[in-house]
């Protein structure tokens, strides 16, 4: 079962590697941006459409 | 949007300023301006493409559930919920940006705060345009959140402690606008404390730690007293403040980390990499430590504002950006030359854009009353320093220039004019007006400082720090002078005063007895009796609106505290009391008087046609109004055309206006806020004149139910000021702008052709001199031709960027309803000279 | 208004009745009767109506059109408060309105606009 920590977009916190940010590039009809969403390293990523193995 | 083929000169000659701006601004500003999602409602609904952000309400609700049985006092639980949102919300950094921070999880989202009012939550459930797909899943989330907060929201908690009768009249929506909540209105800020550059969040936290330590020691010394008992609450409050500030610092660091991650892992352009590392450095420091540069100062301000909007729905943005950011601008641009003027303009322009995109889901009456914008972000420029010297600086000019480049409708500026303002600055103000922005509105600083001292007893140094609390009302930004929350429901739909004289206070639109049961109109045999009935209705309506605010101000510190706003306010850090506690506020409440001028025009028509000329009886008039003038068109036209109208320098009606204002002013001194201060009135309208068009019945000025009301303040009815601009100013100058009320909004339309070139500036300057000499406190200008506005109605796609002044704010013309558009076109274009 | 408890008042008038039973399930909120008050000519919006409240132009406080048989009170100081989605199938005063403004982007127009998601297709 893939978890967030195995994903290229997961960036662990230095002080607590069990947590981190899922950083993604988003392009909407008006602008492009990078977003960061806090996730736990062991979160199940099986249904995540953005999952990409490191 | 393609860049226009015409040259800049051609576009400027054609006065197509919006296309000219596109050519003039830097590629960064052009990208950021076009990247911005406009959040203002069109008419009453949010435009396509915007969605309610469900992330935040879910975070709030999950934390509230987790804490439900925690032994923490409420204020600490509330602070923890706020911290949970700041720690866990999705954040983003837009390409090319140098400033960061947004309320929602994505740029096109509108944030929804479910903790405020069940009625707001029901609107979200019923919203026809902005529930995100997949609808079924979103509705499950929305109803789960709405159901959790049912009975627990601020309004649910406050309402049972209100007078039921008053509450129902307020909630009918007929006479007032807004709800009496400390977490839903217009929040001033103690800028003298938090923006003076000498302290930031870490310094305040250190002070809070000292306070808690001292109190804790005192609370455990031998002895017992009320003072010791009060310390327990104070320590909780200080602790809650600290939780919010620490969360703010962590939130800044989240942006620092994201910027670093992008720079190190994704970005390939070396220049952008450097910018991202710069953002990272700024956010590592801000808001923990005081800013050192313009970028840090703007970022600091932005965080302060956004955190406050994470705590409450704030419908206004009181601010004085040139005064507080000016020193950093001067240092970076003039002294250190660390930034070129163009680079600084990029930052200032982006600051306006970051503010323009801030959005919070509001109830429909608020959206309709503020069409096209998110709230009244009226930023104050110019004015004097505490010692009375000119406060204008290079940042004043940079803001006015940046506004013309980015052309956002919100924030708008209001300029504190005084006799020492330089010609250079006046020309910059004029250029914004000439280029159709509708701002800055011009405010008469000496008059308004005197007014603040007169009505609320602000000492002169405090009064000189004033900013616009919302569209119009001056409010200082000092320890005791600033107003932490203007609760908007003391906003009176004043046309109802006149209507109720004829219905004995019964409201036929909402089916309630709201006003006083004054004698039947047909039994009133003299004008004086009519006026007496008017005064009774005025007093009744104002009292119904003011009492719930007073009550809520007293309840707020315990029931709906604001730990974050308290944490950035000296009065609360010092005292340990909630920022809204009336005992630590000077109190500077006011009643916004929507739809005011209809009263004077109606009373003048009654006096002339019923009592002087005896052409009609009161019974006939009552019957005509009850039937909405149906079958009485000739009579109606008589009331429109043959009765004197405000704004024509006609003493007959102008004296009636003064009678009305002075009765209200007298009563304002009898009405007291919980701090013991007065409740003066402030005539202005935003777009309430359209929102209320179908809520106000027929009136004796010839208006029918459904017709747009006048555009507000002390502006004459559209097309009814027939004697030119000087006559309008003369009528307005008969009002004592220091003692007859808090402030008076005056709309003026000028012809863009007439304002062209140097001659245009000189004409405007002469007009402004007359305005200043006459002691009028406010004037604002629309300077877009009928031709352009009609073309924009026909072909809105081509005129997306045309801005107009609505009332106390500006909006993109295409974002306001047809009725409001027509109302603006109908306003008289005044020829100068 | 005679002084009464909030609870009694809410029950009598529906005035606080944003969520009369405290909680509405999603299914309940999505139930749109064939004859909802919001589509009646006599339904009056207040300025706050987009949360679902309004009143009747004809019936007064104390009426109850949801009962069988319904109660119609025609005299009184205050209007009968109800909700846009109140089932008016028992109301003999019901007259269906023809809407002019179809998209809801125009401003408050009490008798002639639709504004609620649930009534979009009605």
ipTM field: 0.98
Contact C117 B363 (CB under 8 A): no
Question: What CA–CA distance (Å, rounded) separates B447 from B460?
Answer: 12
Q: What is the pLDDT of residue C17?
A: 45
Q: What percent of chain B has pLDDT over 90?
A: 79
- Mean pLDDT, residues B815-826: 85
Residue in chain B lying closest to A31 (CA): B35
pLDDT digits (tens, 9 = 90+) for B538-570: 999 999 999 999 999 999 999 999 999 999 999
Confidence bin at B366 (pLDDT 50/70/90): confident
Question: What CA–CA distance (Å, rounded) separates C93 from B35?
Answer: 52
The string over B522-556, giving b where at least 16 C-beta atoms fall within 10 Å of a residue's C-beta and e elsewhere, is eebeebebbbbbbbbbbbbbbebbbbbbbbbbebb
Contact B173 C47 (CB under 8 A): yes
Among candidates B426, B441, B625, which has minimal Cα distance to B521?
B625
- Mean pLDDT, residues B273-294: 98
- Which residues does chain A have within 8 Å of residue B266's beta carbon, measured at their own beta carbons? 23, 25, 34
Max CA-CA distance within chain C? 42
Q: What is the pLDDT of residue C108?
A: 54
Scan residues 43-82 of B and list those with Cβ closer than 8 Å to C.
43-45
- Mean pLDDT, residues B20-28: 96
How much is the pTM? Answer: 0.94
- Name the residue with higher pLDDT: B673 or B129: B673
Question: What CA–CA distance (Å, rounded) separates B235 from B640?
Answer: 63
Give bridge partners of residue B417 from the DSSP assignment. Answer: B444
- Mean pLDDT, residues B276-294: 98
Strand pairing report for A32-40 and A19-27: antiparallel
Question: What CA–CA distance (Å, rounded) separates B530 from B528?
Answer: 5
Scan residues 19-78 of C and list those with Cβ closer than 8 Å to B.
19, 22-26, 29-30, 44, 46-53, 55-57, 60, 77-78
CA of A40, closest CA in chain B: separation in Å? 11
Max CA-CA distance within chain A? 36
Q: What is the pLDDT of residue B686?
A: 81
Q: What is the pLDDT of residue B507?
A: 92
Contact B511 C109 (CB under 8 A): no
Strand pairing report for B467-468 and B441-444: unpaired
Residue in chain B lying closest to C78 (CA): B512
Q: What is the pLDDT of residue C18?
A: 46
Q: What is the pLDDT of residue B511?
A: 83
Contact C77 B150 (CB under 8 A): no
Residue B280 pLDDT greater than 70, yes or no: yes
Residue spans per domain, chain C: 9-15+32-101+111-116
B86-90, B253-257, B516-520, B723-727, range with the lowest pLDDT: B723-727
- Which residues does chain B have within 8 Å of residue C30's beta carbon, measured at their own beta carbons? 139
In this complex, the residue of B44, B159, B687 whose CB is nearest that of residue C115 is B44
pLDDT digits (tens, 9 = 90+) for B583-611: 999 999 999 999 999 999 999 999 999 99
- Which residues does chain B have within 8 Å of residue C109's beta carbon, measured at their own beta carbons? 694, 706
**Chains with 3 or more CB pairs under 8 A to chain A:** B
Q: Is some CB atom of chain C closer than 8 A to the CB atom of B164? A: yes
- Which residues does chain B have within 8 Å of residue C10's beta carbon, measured at their own beta carbons? none
Q: What is the pLDDT of residue B375?
A: 87
Q: In what order do the strands lie in the sheet with B491-493?
A: B491-493, B591-594, B681-683
Averaged pLDDT of chain B: 94
Q: What is the 3-state secondary structure (H, E, C) of B415-431?
A: EEECCCCCHHHHHHHHH
Q: What is the pLDDT of residue C114?
A: 60
Residue B149 pLDDT greater than 60, yes or no: yes
Residue B47 pLDDT greater than 90, yes or no: no
Question: What CA–CA distance (Å, rounded) separates B617 from B306?
Answer: 57
**Interface of chain A toward chain B, CB-CB under 8 angstroms:** 11, 21, 23, 25-26, 28-38
DSSP per-residue codes, A25-36:
EEE-SS-EEEEE
B490-494, B616-620, B659-663, C32-36, range with the lowest pLDDT: C32-36
Walk along chain C (122 residues) and give the pLDDT tens digit of each residue.
Answer: 456 676 666 665 555 444 444 556 677 777 889 999 988 888 887 666 667 778 888 998 888 898 999 999 998 877 888 888 889 999 999 998 876 665 656 655 555 556 677 777 66
Question: What CA–CA distance (Å, rounded) separates C63 from C80?
Answer: 6
In this complex, the residue of C22, C25, C44 whose CB is nearest that of residue B509 is C44
Q: What is the pLDDT of residue C115?
A: 66
């Amino acid at each position: 079962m893939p978890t967030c920590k195995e994903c290229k977009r997961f960036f662990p916190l230095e002080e607590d590697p069990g947590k981190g940010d899922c950083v993604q590039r988003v392009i909407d009809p008006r602008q492009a941006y990078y977003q960061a969403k806090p996730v736990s390293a062991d979160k199940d990523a099986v249904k995540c459409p953005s999952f990409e193995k490191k | 949007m393609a860049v226009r083929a015409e040259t800049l000169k051609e576009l400027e000659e054609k006065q197509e300023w919006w296309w000219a701006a596109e050519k003039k601004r830097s590629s960064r500003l052009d990208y950021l301006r076009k990247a911005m999602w406009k959040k203002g409602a069109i008419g009453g609904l949010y435009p396509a493409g915007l969605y309610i952000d469900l992330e935040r309400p879910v975070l709030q609700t999950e934390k509230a559930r987790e804490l439900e049985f925690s032994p923490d006092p409420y204020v600490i639980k509330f602070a923890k919920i706020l911290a949970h949102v700041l720690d866990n919300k999705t954040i983003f950094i837009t390409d090319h940006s140098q400033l960061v921070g947004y309320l929602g999880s994505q740029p096109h989202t509108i944030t929804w705060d479910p903790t405020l009012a069940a009625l707001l939550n029901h609107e979200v459930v019923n919203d026809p345009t902005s529930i995100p797909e997949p609808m079924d899943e979103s509705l499950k989330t929305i109803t789960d959140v709405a159901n959790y907060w049912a009975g627990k929201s601020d309004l649910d908690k406050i309402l049972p402690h209100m007078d039921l009768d008053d509450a129902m009249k307020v909630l009918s929506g007929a006479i007032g606008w807004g709800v009496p909540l400390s977490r839903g209105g217009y929040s001033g800020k103690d800028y003298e404390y938090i923006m003076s550059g000498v302290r930031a969040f870490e310094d305040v936290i250190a002070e809070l730690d000292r306070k808690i330590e001292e109190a804790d020691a005192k609370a455990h010394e031998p002895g017992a007293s009320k003072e010791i008992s009060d310390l327990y609450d104070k320590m909780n409050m200080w602790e809650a403040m600290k939780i919010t500030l620490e969360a703010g610092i962590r939130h800044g660091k989240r942006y620092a980390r994201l910027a670093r991650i992008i720079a190190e892992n994704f970005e390939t352009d070396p220049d952008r990499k450097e910018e991202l590392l710069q953002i990272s450095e700024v956010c590592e420091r801000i808001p923990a430590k005081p800013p050192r540069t313009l970028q840090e100062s703007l970022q600091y301000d932005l965080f302060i504002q956004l955190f406050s909007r994470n705590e409450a729905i704030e419908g206004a943005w009181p601010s004085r950006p040139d005064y507080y950011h000016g020193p950093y601008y001067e240092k970076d641009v003039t002294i250190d030359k660390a930034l070129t003027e163009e680079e600084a303009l990029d930052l200032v322009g982006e600051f306006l854009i970051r503010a323009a995109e801030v959005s919070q889901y509001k109830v429909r009456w608020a959206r309709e009353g503020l069409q096209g914008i998110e709230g009244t972000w009226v930023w104050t420029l110019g004015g004097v320093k505490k010692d009375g010297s000119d406060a204008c600086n290079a940042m004043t000019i940079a803001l006015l220039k940046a506004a013309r480049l980015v052309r956002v409708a919100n924030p708008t500026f209001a300029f504190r004019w005084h006799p020492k303002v330089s010609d250079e600055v006046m020309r910059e103000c004029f250029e914004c007006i000439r280029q159709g922005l509708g701002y800055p509105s011009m405010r008469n600083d000496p008059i308004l400082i005197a007014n603040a001292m007169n009505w609320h007893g602000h000492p002169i140094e405090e009064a000189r720090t004033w900013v616009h609390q919302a569209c119009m009302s001056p409010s200082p930004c000092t320890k005791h002078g600033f107003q932490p929350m203007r609760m908007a429901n003391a906003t009176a739909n004043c046309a109802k005063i006149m209507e109720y004289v004829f219905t004995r206070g019964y409201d036929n639109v909402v089916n309630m007895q709201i006003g006083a049961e004054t004698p039947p109109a047909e039994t009133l045999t003299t004008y004086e009796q009519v006026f007496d009935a008017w005064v009774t209705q005025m007093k009744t309506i104002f009292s119904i609106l003011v009492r719930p605010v007073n009550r809520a101000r007293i309840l707020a510190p315990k029931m709906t505290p604001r730990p974050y706003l308290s944490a950035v306010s000296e009065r609360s850090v010092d005292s340990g009391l909630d920022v809204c506690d009336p005992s630590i506020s000077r109190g500077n409440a006011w009643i916004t008087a929507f739809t005011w001028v209809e009263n004077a025009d109606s009373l003048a028509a009654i006096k002339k046609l019923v009592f002087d000329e005896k052409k009609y009886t009161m019974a006939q008039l009552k019957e005509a109004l009850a039937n909405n003038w149906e079958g009485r068109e000739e009579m109606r036209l008589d009331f429109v055309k043959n009765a004197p109208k405000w704004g024509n320098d006609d003493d007959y009606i102008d004296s009636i206006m003064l009678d009305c204002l002075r009765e209200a002013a007298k009563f304002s001194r009898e009405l007291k806020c919980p701090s013991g201060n007065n409740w003066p009135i402030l005539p202005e309208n935003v777009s309430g004149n359209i929102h209320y068009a179908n809520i106000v019945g027929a009136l004796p000025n010839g208006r029918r139910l459904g017709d747009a009301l006048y555009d507000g303040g002390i502006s004459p009815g559209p097309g009814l000021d027939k004697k030119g601009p000087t006559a309008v100013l003369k009528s307005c100058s008969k009002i004592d702008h220091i003692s007859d009320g808090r402030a008076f909004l005056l709309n003026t339309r000028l012809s863009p052709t007439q304002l062209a070139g140097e001659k245009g500036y000189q004409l405007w300057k002469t007009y402004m001199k007359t305005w200043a000499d006459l002691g009028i406190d406010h004037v604002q200008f629309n300077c877009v031709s009928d031709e352009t506005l009609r073309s924009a109605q026909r072909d809105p796609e081509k005129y997306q960027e045309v801005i107009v002044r609505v009332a106390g704010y500006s909006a993109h013309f295409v974002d306001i309803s047809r009725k409001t558009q027509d109302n603006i076109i109908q306003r008289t274009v005044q020829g100068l000279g | 208004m005679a002084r009464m408890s909030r609870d009694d008042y809410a029950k009598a008038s529906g005035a606080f009745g944003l969520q009369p039973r405290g909680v509405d399930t999603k299914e309940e909120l999505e139930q749109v009767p064939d004859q909802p008050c919001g589509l009646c000519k006599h339904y009056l919006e207040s300025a706050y109506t987009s949360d679902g409240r309004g009143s009747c132009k004809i019936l007064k406080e104390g009426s109850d059109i949801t009962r069988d048989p319904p109660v119609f009170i025609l005299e009184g100081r205050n209007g009968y408060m109800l909700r846009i989605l109140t089932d008016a199938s028992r109301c003999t005063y019901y007259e269906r309105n023809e809407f002019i403004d179809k998209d809801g982007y125009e401003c408050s127009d009490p008798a002639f606009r639709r504004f609620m998601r649930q009534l979009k297709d009605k």
